[in-house]
Amino acid sequence: MLTRAQVGGIVAVIFLLVLSGCQTERAATAAGTRGPGGEGAIKSRNVKVTPAAMGSISRTVEVNGTLAAQDQVAVAFKVAGRIDRLPVDLGDTVKPGQLLAGLDRTDFDLAVAQAAAALEQARARLGLTANQADAQVSVERAPLVLQAKAALDEARLSRDRAQQMFDQKLISKADFDTADANFRIADGRHQDAIEEIRNRQATLAQRKTELQLARQRLADSELRAPIAGAVLAREGSVGQYVAPGSSVVTIVRMSPLRLQLPVPERAASGVRVGQSITLRLENDTNTYSGVVSRLSPAIDPTNRTLLVEATIPNDSGRLKPGSFVQASLVTKAGEQAIFVPGSALVVFAGIEKVFLVEEGKSVERLVRSGRRADGRIEIVEGLKAGDRVVVQPGNLVGGTPVEVAAK
C-alpha cells in the first residue's frame, strides 16, 4: 500500500506533466497563429463570450429504492365452511365492501333459526306475547311471582288469626306453630319465585345474544374487501373447505404507494418531511413525483444510511409495488448559484477550467463544477457572477490574442 508521501509525489508528477502539455499546446497554437511576418504578425482568434450568470438550482440526492404497497391485506374467513362463491381473481380491482368469497349458507341459516326459536321460548316463559317488548318484563307482575305472593298473603292472614286465637287460649301452641311455619314456607316460595323470574330474564338476555352471534356468523360467511385495491393473490378455490383464519384472497392498495430510500449519511441532514421527490423507472419515459412522509429515527450502522419513506400518488395505476426505481430527492430548492454554458467548461486529466477574455487575450481559470441542468453547469468555485467566459473554446490556450465576436 502506498504511503501518503508517495501518493503526494505521484500527484505532483501528474500535475507537472499536465502543465508541460498545456505549455506545449500553447506554444504550438501560438506558432500556428503567426503569419509570414513573424512575431508582429500574430493573428487574433474570434471567440464568443457570455457572462457567468446567477441562477436558482435545487440541491438533490440521487438514490435507488423500491416501491412498496401502503397496505397489503390477506383476507380470511372468521368462520369455517365450504367455499361456494369466489367471484374475483388475480389482478381484479375491488372496492371496500365488495364480495370476495362466500361459504355455503345452509348451516348458518339453521343456526339463526334455532337461536330465534330459543329466544321465543325464553320470552314465553316470562309471559311475553309476540307484540310485547322485552323491557316490559316486571318481576313483581310475573305470573309465577303473583301466584307465590297470593299464597304468601294467605299464609300471613292465617298466622295472624292463629296468633289472636292463641293469645285468647282458643288453640294450642302446636296449632299456632303450624300456622307460623306455613307462613315462613310461603315467604320462601315467594322469594324463590322472584329469583326464578330473574333467572328467566338472564336466560332471555342469553338467548338474544345467541341469536345475534348466529346472525353474525351468517354475515361472516361472506368475505368482503376491507380496503380498495387489487387482488394480488387468490389462495382459495370453489368447493374448498377452509378453517377460520385461512387466507383466501390477498389485496394490495395501489394508491398511494410507499417508496423506501436508503439515503447516504452525508446527505441525511438535509432531508426533511414534506420535501418533494421525483422518480423514474427503467424502460419508462414518464417521471413521477411524491413527497417525503417519514424518516427513520436512526442511521443504519451497517451501511451508514438513513431510511426515508415517501408517499407516491398512483391514481393511474402505472406504478407497481415492488418496482425498482431511481429517485431524486430535493434537499434544497431554489438555491442561488453561478452558471455557465456546458460548452464553456474544459476538462483535461480531471482538471476543470474555463477561459476568460481580459485585455484582448484569453486567460485560463481553474474552476470546480457542480450540478448540470438544462445545458448549464454550476460553478461552485473559481468564478464570480459577471465574468465573461468563452463559449466553445476548442483548442484555445491561455495568452492567445482574441477578438470577441459580435452577437
Average confidence (pLDDT) over 220-236: 95
Say what percent of the chain tops pLDDT 90.
45
Give the pLDDT score at 317.
84
Question: Alpha carbon of 291 to those of 212, 288, 317, 330, 348: distances in Å?
Answer: 46, 11, 18, 10, 39
CATH code, 72-103+222-252: 2.40.50.100
Q: Which range has the worst mean pLDDT, 20-29, 101-110, 144-153, 192-201? A: 20-29
Q: For residue 139, what is the DSSP state? A: T
Q: Could you report the per-residue pLDDT of 161-173, keeping only the tens digit for each?
A: 999 998 888 889 9
Give the pLDDT score at 9.
52
Question: Alpha carbon of 223 to those of 72, 74, 226, 387: distances in Å?
Answer: 16, 11, 9, 72
How far is the C-alpha of 339 from the C-alpha of 43, rounded, in Å?
31
Which CATH class for the 4-57+336-404 domain?
Answer: mainly beta
Query: Which segment, 91-105, 264-278, 320-334, is predicted with the most confidence on average?
Result: 91-105
Q: Which range has the worst mean pLDDT, 40-49, 230-239, 247-256? A: 40-49
pLDDT surpassing 70 at residue 88: yes
Q: Could you report the per-residue pLDDT of 332-358, keeping only the tens digit for each?
A: 766 788 889 988 899 988 899 999 988
pLDDT surpassing 50 at residue 81: yes
How far is the C-alpha of 140 from the C-alpha of 127, rounded, in Å?
12
Q: Which range has the worst mean pLDDT, 40-44, 107-111, 399-403? A: 40-44
- Asked if 362 and 400 count as a contact pair (C-beta separation under 8 A), the reply is yes
Average confidence (pLDDT) over 301-320: 91
How far is the C-alpha of 162 from the C-alpha of 179, rounded, in Å?
7
3-state SS of the chain is CCCHHHHHHHHHHHHHHHHHHHHHHHHHHHHHHECCCHHHHECCEEEEEEECEEEEEEEEEEEEEEEEECCEEEEECCCCEEEEECCCCCCCEECCCCEEEEECCHHHHHHHHHHHHHHHHHHHHCCCCCCCCHHHCCCCCCHHHHHHHHHHHHHHHHHHHHHHHHHCCCCCHHHHHHHHHHHHHHHHHHHHHHHHHHHHHHHHHHHHHHHHHHHHHHHHCEEECCCCEEEEEECCCCCCEECCCCEEEEEECCCCEEEEEEEEHHHHCCCCCCCEEEEEECCCCCCEEEEEEEECCCCECCCCEEEEEEEECCCCCCCCCCCEEEEEEEEEEEEEEEEEEHHHCEEECCEEEEEEEECCEEEEEECEEEEEECCEEEEEECCCCCCEEEECCCCCCCCCEEEECCC
Q: Could you report the per-residue pLDDT of 208-225, keeping only the tens digit for each?
A: 999 999 999 999 999 999
Q: Which range has the worst mean pLDDT, 38-42, 250-254, 318-322? A: 38-42
Give the pLDDT score at 23.
47
Give the three-class secondary structure for 16: helix
Give the pLDDT score at 35.
46
CATH superfamily name and code, 62-70+253-333 = Efflux pump adaptor protein, beta barrel domain (2.40.30.170)
pLDDT surpassing 50 at residue 260: yes
Give the pLDDT score at 28.
44
Q: Average pLDDT over the chain, rounded to whole?
A: 85
How far is the C-alpha of 182 from the C-alpha of 177, rounded, in Å?
9
Q: Which range has the worst mean pLDDT, 34-38, 105-109, 214-218, 349-353? A: 34-38
Residue 25's nearest CA partner among 13, 33, 37 is 33
Give the pLDDT score at 406.
66
Where along the chain do its domains lie? 4-57+336-404, 62-70+253-333, 72-103+222-252, 107-220
